[in-house]
């Protein structure tokens, strides 16, 4: 067993810092391909990616996302399952699409309960560097698309999966 195993495991499941900003160049690429986004449902004043956004004080989990093309980079600690469930449920409304940047944790209950109901899943090639960090994240990421843009069409039951290149 590698000497790095405990360090990596500690980082991988750490939730001390939960509001790492989405890398701007990656957001720009996603916004170009899947946007334009009209709402950042899980942001702070410092890291919001859209003019309209919800902060922790606003509690995006209790807000209505109807009629928006929503971008969500949720806190990656405990409770991420609530954000993924909310994204799926909001996407069931007409004219609402939700695009999430989440850890590609395919072994979790939320992945099988909700992510597998997505219209499209993009597995990000390589590891992202969040919030100006010098180091890449210790986990792979995925861009998950719930709902088709501005459509009343129900999502398919079998998602299409792709690899998304980093800029």
Task: Give domain status of residue 1, yes or no.
Answer: no
Task: Give domain status of residue 102, yes or no.
Answer: yes
Task: Give domain status of residue 136, yes or no.
Answer: yes
Q: For the chain, what is the domain count? A: 1
Task: Give domain status of residue 135, yes or no.
Answer: yes
* pLDDT at 2 > cutoff 80: no
DSSP-assigned letter for residue 53: B
Residues 47, 41 contacting (CB under 8 angstroms): no
Task: Give domain status of residue 153, yes or no.
Answer: yes
Task: Give domain status of residue 2, yes or no.
Answer: no
Q: What percent of the chain has pLDDT over 90?
A: 52
Question: Measuring CA to CA, which residue among 100, 35, 47 is closest to residue 74?
Answer: 100
pTM of the full predicted structure?
0.80
* pLDDT at 7 > cutoff 60: no
| CATH number of the domain residue 87 falls in | 3.40.50
Exposure class string for 47-85: b at 16+ Cβ within 10 A, else e: bbbbeebbbeeeebeeeebeebbbbbbbbbeeebeebbe
* pLDDT at 15 > cutoff 70: no
Task: Give domain status of residue 7, yes or no.
Answer: no
Mean predicted confidence (pLDDT) in 35-54: 93
Query: 72 lies in which domain range?
Result: 18-164
């Amino acid at each position: 067993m590698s000497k790095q195993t405990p360090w990596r495991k500690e980082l991988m499941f750490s939730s001390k810092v939960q509001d790492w900003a989405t890398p701007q160049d990656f957001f720009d690429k996603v916004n170009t391909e899947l946007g334009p986004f009209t709402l950042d449902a899980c942001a702070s004043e410092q890291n919001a990616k859209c003019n309209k956004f919800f902060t922790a004080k606003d509690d995006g989990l209790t807000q209505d996302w109807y009629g928006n093309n929503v971008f969500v980079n949720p806190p990656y600690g405990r409770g991420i399952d609530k954000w993924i469930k909310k994204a799926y449920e909001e996407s069931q409304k007409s004219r609402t699409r939700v695009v999430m940047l989440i850890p590609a944790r395919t072994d979790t209950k939320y992945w099988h309960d909700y992510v597998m109901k997505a219209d499209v899943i993009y597995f990000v090639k390589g590891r992202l560097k969040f919030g100006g960090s010098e180091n890449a994240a210790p986990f792979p990421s995925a861009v998950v698309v719930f709902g088709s843009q501005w459509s009343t069409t129900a999502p398919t039951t079998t998602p299409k999966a792709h690899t998304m290149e980093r800029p």
